[in-house]
Amino acid sequence: MLDTVRQIETPEGVSLRLHAAGATARAHAWLIDFALRALAAFFLLAVLGMLGSAGAGLGMLVLFAAFWIYGVACEVWMDGQTVGKRMMNLRVVNADGTPVTLLPSVIRNLLRTVDALPGIYGIGLVCCLIDPYSRRIGDIVAGTMVIHVLQRGALGQIPNEPAEPPSTPLRLEEQEALVAFAERGRNLHEARQRELGDLLEPLTGRMGNAGLRKLLAHANWLLGRP
């Protein structure tokens, strides 16, 4: 089965799922960051330009910081997210899912020079398209990856219905499917809802709208509602 998720099992048996972010999302985040840094550097340099050669020296420092320090500082202190990554809901993490630390962050940002060759990120893009987890060379060397930060939907949207336990015990993925159906069912076409509900006739023993209500009751029971 094809997916972009990297699954990691911890020694405690917890499986972590890292949703690897691909080239397009990362390119957008980079463009945002680049625009921000360019704007900031432009205004600072305009001000510093009035100060003569001392201002030019300070300007060099500003450019240095924008190029080399911005990424590391943001990743280490802003939870693995530069401003662009935060806007695109991306995050840098270590390959084992732990938050990125100073050394990997420094390495992946130093190797930006390689990825950026020949000045327009050609190598980084090719590497990103080839790698199964869309890592550029800096990520591979530093042992990091960029992942999507998932937004969880609220469970509160599930309509209330007096809870009723299902007639047979269900497996975990089946329970998840029932709850997801209760969550998303209302967005579906009515005929489609009934069609899906009728598939579970062996579980509910009903067809049509009665079956749908029964499924909702099961979902409410699974969520621990009264």
Partner 1 sequence: MEIERISVVLRPRSTRESADLGAAMLRRHAQPIFTAWFIASLPFLAIAIGLALWLGQPWVSLLFLWWLKPLFARIPLYVVSRAVFAEAPGWRDALRSMRTWGLQGLLAWMTIRRLDPRRCVLQPIVYLEGLDRRARAERWRVFGRGVEGPGTGLALTCMMFEWVLALSPLLFLPMFVPAELWESYWFNAGFLRTMPHWLSLPLVVAYYLGMSVAEPLCTTGGFALYLGRRTELEAWDLDLAFRRLRNRLLATATTALVLMAACFVAPTAHAADTPRDVKTDAVRVSLDSAFPAPQQGADQRMNDVSGKVLADPLLGGKTQAWRWVPKHPAARKPAEIVPEKPIVPGDVAGAGVASKGLLIALLIAALAWLGWFARQRWPSRRGEPAAARAPVQSAVQETDMVVAVPKGFGEQVHQLWRSGSRREALALLYRGTVERVATRLDEPVSPDATEADAIAGARRLDDDDAGRRAIRIVRTWQFAAYADRYPSDEEMAVMLGGWPVEHV
Does 132 participate in binding partner 1 (rule CB under 8 A)?
Answer: yes
Strand partners for 122: none
Does 206 participate in binding partner 1 (rule CB under 8 A)?
Answer: no
Does 157 participate in binding partner 1 (rule CB under 8 A)?
Answer: no
Cis, bond preceding 132 (omega within 30 deg of 0): no
Does 88 participate in binding partner 1 (rule CB under 8 A)?
Answer: yes
Element housing 93 (H / E): strand 90-94
Task: Please provide the DSSP assignment of 144-168 as one string.
Answer: EEEEEPPPPPPGGGSPP------SS
Q: Exactly one of 77, 152, 156, 187 binds partner 1 (CB under 8 A); which one? A: 187
Distance (Å, rounded) from C-alpha 64 to C-alpha 226? 61
Does 126 participate in binding partner 1 (rule CB under 8 A)?
Answer: yes
Q: Which amino acid is at 43?
A: F
Distance (Å, rounded) from C-alpha 60 to C-alpha 66? 10
Does 168 participate in binding partner 1 (rule CB under 8 A)?
Answer: yes
Q: Exactly one of 119, 156, 224, 226 binds partner 1 (CB under 8 A); which one? A: 119
Candidates 2-10, 32-40, 61-69, 107-115: pick the segment binding partner 1 (CB under 8 A). Answer: 2-10
Q: Exactly one of 74, 121, 136, 211 binds partner 1 (CB under 8 A); which one? A: 121
Distance (Å, rounded) from C-alpha 29 to C-alpha 199? 43
- List residues binding partner 1 (CB under 8 A): 1-5, 19-25, 27-28, 88-89, 117-123, 125-126, 129-130, 132, 134, 148, 151, 168, 170, 173-174, 176-177, 180-181, 184-185, 187-189, 192, 196, 199-203
